[in-house]
């Protein structure tokens, strides 16, 4: 774990987006998924919503600024090569950050932040094939309820989780991680 020092490329988006992913299945309780919740991190009343610059294996990682977490993902280019993150302000968030190990369709095809939300993304390998998630730890309560959204790619509009939720993990399938699914939990 560490403290993140800097942020890269942000574009301010006016207004809040209210479109959401459709949950395709409810996860089972396990070490990665908590089953109860008491106090949650909340969305700020004056939420800042930003898109990061798109990243790929040729660029530096994308980071959500300040007290923001990922609430959507967009990709462009062949095999979902260029990925951008939608970031939204949360309150009562911790400031301990860590990176997951990589995931890709060839091996372990998903990663879930341990008791936290996604705040950044980096990748390597052709067409952003191997992805890593930066996670921000949330102290006090397990994250619940959590859901997997349907897969999307560059042919689809951005995947944005429902209001009051944030991305806590990602999965991919298809050549070069072409199809991305978001795992999202209640704030």
Query: What is the average pLDDT across 113-139?
Result: 91
What pLDDT digit, counting tens, does each position of 93-121 carry? 666 899 999 999 888 899 999 889 999 99
What pLDDT digit, counting tens, does each position of 143-182 carry? 889 999 999 998 988 999 999 999 999 999 998 888 999 9
CB 4 within 8 A of CB 97: yes
Q: Which positions ≥6 away from 102 have C-beta within 8 Å? A: 124, 130, 131, 132
- The whole-model pTM stands at 0.74
**HEC profile of the chain:** CECCCCCCCEEECCCCCCCCCCEEECCCCCCCCCCCCCCCCEECCCCCEEEECCECCCCCCEECCCCEEEEEEEEECHHHCEEEEEEEEEECCCCCEEECCCECCCCCCEEECCCEEEEEEEEECHHHCEEEEEEEECCCCCCCCEEEECCECCCCCCEECCCCEEEEEEEEECHHHCEEEEEEEEC
């Amino acid at each position: 774990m560490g403290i993140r020092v800097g942020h890269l490329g942000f574009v301010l988006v006016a207004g809040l987006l209210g479109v959401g992913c459709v949950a395709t299945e409810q996860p089972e309780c396990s070490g990665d998924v908590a089953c109860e919740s008491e106090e949650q991190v909340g969305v700020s009343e004056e939420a800042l919503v930003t898109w990061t610059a798109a990243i790929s294996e040729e660029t530096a990682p994308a980071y959500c600024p300040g007290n923001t977490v990922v609430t959507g993902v967009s990709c462009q280019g062949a095999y979902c090569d260029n990925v951008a993150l939608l970031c939204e302000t949360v309150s009562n968030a911790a400031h301990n950050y860590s990176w997951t190990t990589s995931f890709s369709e060839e091996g372990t095809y998903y990663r879930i932040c341990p008791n936290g939300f996604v705040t950044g993304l980096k990748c390597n390998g052709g067409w952003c094939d191997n992805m890593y998630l930066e996670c921000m730890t949330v102290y006090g309560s397990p994250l619940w309820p959590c859901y997997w959204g349907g897969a999307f790619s560059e042919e689809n509009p951005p995947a944005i989780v429902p209001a009051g939720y944030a991305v806590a993990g990602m999965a991919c399938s298809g050549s070069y991680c072409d199809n991305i699914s978001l795992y999202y939990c209640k704030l």
